[in-house]
């Protein structure tokens, strides 16, 4: 008879899910699988929308990564029309996006994964949260939250809104901040660099204590990211594939993404998995680790030095644990961008005229979590007839399952259900999954770990509300 252990509700992931562990005949973990049980319907809902309103509409798909959808949408439209926005608009977008990534990475590193890193995955759930972290080290917590706030406030100034930016339009930007506002952002960038000096060192020290999990979370897959001939990028570049050493194997235009990637339905989940077309069904991973593995240079000096240190580590950087350190490098680059980019924004135009036409519109950006694809078909009236979205977390489906499986195999023999649950949650958090973004939430599903042996359910470990 199946046994069920009820503990506190799952926290610190964006969305709801459960994890199923299959056991072999000897009772050991054979495979772990993430199940996302929320309906996906945004692609259907977007049909019939006006093409030029898509950047504002799709920015509301998610409250965690709205700037990524906003920018992917406007990128798709501009590439479909074959137009390039003015230099001032491009710098404003880069500034907005640096704020967005800084905010998102700070949230992931210090609020969502931070309690695991700084308090330990063995800590009980009621003491492994942001409030306990604030109580343990109030100044550290304040600095981490300030870093997140700097990113969010930057998005608010450049994008018009902190959560759902609206200022990127086909052909450029609809708004230019005043010189005083740009100076404020520049000062924030320098402040963020100071904050990161302490915060990065603290997280790095804690990462070294989790080396036991590094090999368990190894991802034996290629990396996929946007790249500008080896230069790290969030906006622009070709879709590039690299091996475990970071060597670039193949690059294609963004518009040709469907020749490389294939979405497939997962019977037990509303979130689709994305794999390579050739070799058929082969998995890969995306995100900050993929970007750094494929990068030979970063656009800013301190981040470039950090990239060199990141790559100097003995052995390949292919563990899900490396995602956390990769975010530290990217946050440094984002802070440098906030401090430097405002100086280059001149008084030139911020937009050019653009008009919709019938055709296909494809745009890819690097969201904080990895490549984000927007693909539209529009008619002569500029009405969207078909939409395909490939969200970053979908690309990491197979990688997340692999990391979960590895951690579960390592921790399951210890017969400590609490540690097992904490461990597989931490493996998932390393990817910073955005499940609502990837499935477009309707309803709720708390995290559960189901144990199967010989096809039969033999146990459930879950976290549910005790109210």
Residue 213: phi, psi to the nearest 5? Answer: -95, -10
Residue 437: per-residue pLDDT: 58
363 in helix, strand or coil? strand
Residue 288: phi, psi to the nearest 5? Answer: -60, -35
Residue 362: per-residue pLDDT: 98
Residue 39: per-residue pLDDT: 64
Residue 268: phi, psi to the nearest 5? Answer: -95, 10
Residue 337: per-residue pLDDT: 98
Ranges in the chain, pLDDT < 50: 1-12, 439-445, 464-467
Residue 463: per-residue pLDDT: 52
d(C-alpha 415, C-alpha 411), whole Å: 8
Contact present, 199 and 147 (Cβ < 8 Å): yes
Residue 123: per-residue pLDDT: 81
**Domain 42-395: CATH architecture, name and number where available:** Orthogonal Bundle (1.10)
> What are 367-421's pLDDT values in tens digits?
999 999 999 999 999 999 999 999 999 999 999 999 999 998 888 776 677 788 8
Domain residue spans of the chain: 3-40+396-463, 42-395
CA distances from 51 to 32, 54, 115, 457 (A): 41, 5, 42, 48
């Amino acid at each position: 008879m199946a046994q069920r252990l009820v503990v506190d509700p799952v926290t610190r992931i964006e969305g709801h899910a459960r994890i199923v562990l299959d056991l072999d005949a000897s009772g050991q973990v054979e495979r772990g699988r993430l199940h996302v049980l929320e309906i996906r319907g945004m692609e259907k809902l977007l049909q019939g929308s006006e093409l030029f309103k898509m950047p504002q509409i799709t920015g509301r798909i998610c409250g965690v990564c709205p700037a990524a959808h906003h920018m992917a949408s406007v990128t798709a439209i501009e590439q479909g029309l074959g137009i390039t926005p003015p230099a001032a608009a491009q710098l404003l977008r880069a500034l907005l996006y640096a704020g967005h990534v800084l905010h998102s990475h700070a949230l992931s590193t210090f609020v969502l994964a931070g309690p695991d890193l700084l308090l330990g995955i063995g800590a009980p759930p009621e003491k492994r949260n942001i409030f306990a972290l604030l109580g343990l080290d109030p100044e550290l917590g304040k600095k981490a939250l300030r870093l997140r706030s700097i990113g969010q406030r930057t998005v608010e100034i450049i994008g018009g809104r902190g959560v759902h930016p609206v200022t990127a339009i086909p052909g450029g930007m609809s708004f230019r901040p005043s010189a005083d506002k740009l100076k404020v952002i520049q000062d924030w960038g320098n402040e963020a660099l100071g904050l990161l000096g302490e915060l990065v060192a603290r997280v790095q020290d804690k990462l070294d204590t989790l080396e036991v999990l590094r090999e368990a979370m190894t991802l034996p897959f290629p990396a996929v990211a946007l790249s500008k001939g080896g230069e790290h990028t969030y906006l622009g570049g070709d879709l590039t594939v690299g091996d475990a050493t970071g060597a670039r194997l193949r690059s294609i235009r963004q518009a040709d993404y469907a020749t490389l990637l294939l979405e497939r339905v997962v019977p037990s989940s509303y979130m689709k998995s994305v794999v390579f077309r050739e070799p058929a069904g082969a998995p890969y991973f995306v995100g900050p680790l993929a970007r750094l593995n494929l990068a030979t240079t970063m656009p800013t000096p301190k981040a470039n030095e950090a990239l060199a240190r990141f790559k100097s580590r003995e052995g390949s950087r292919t563990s899900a644990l490396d995602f956390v350190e990769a975010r530290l490098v990217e946050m440094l680059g984002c802070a440098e961008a906030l401090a430097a980019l405002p100086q280059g924004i001149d008084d030139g135009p911020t937009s050019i005229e653009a008009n919709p036409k019938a055709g296909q519109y494809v745009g890819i950006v690097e969201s904080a979590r990895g490549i984000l694809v927007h693909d539209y078909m529009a008619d002569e009236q500029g009405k969207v007839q078909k939409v395909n979205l490939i969200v970053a977390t979908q690309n990491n489906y197979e990688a997340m399952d692999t990391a979960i499986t590895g951690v579960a195999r390592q921790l399951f023999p210890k017969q400590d259900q609490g540690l097992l649950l904490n461990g597989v949650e931490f493996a998932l958090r390393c990817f910073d999954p955005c499940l609502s973004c990837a499935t477009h939430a309707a309803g709720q599903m708390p995290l559960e770990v189901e144990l199967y042996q010989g096809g039969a359910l033999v146990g459930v470990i879950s976290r549910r509300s005790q109210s």
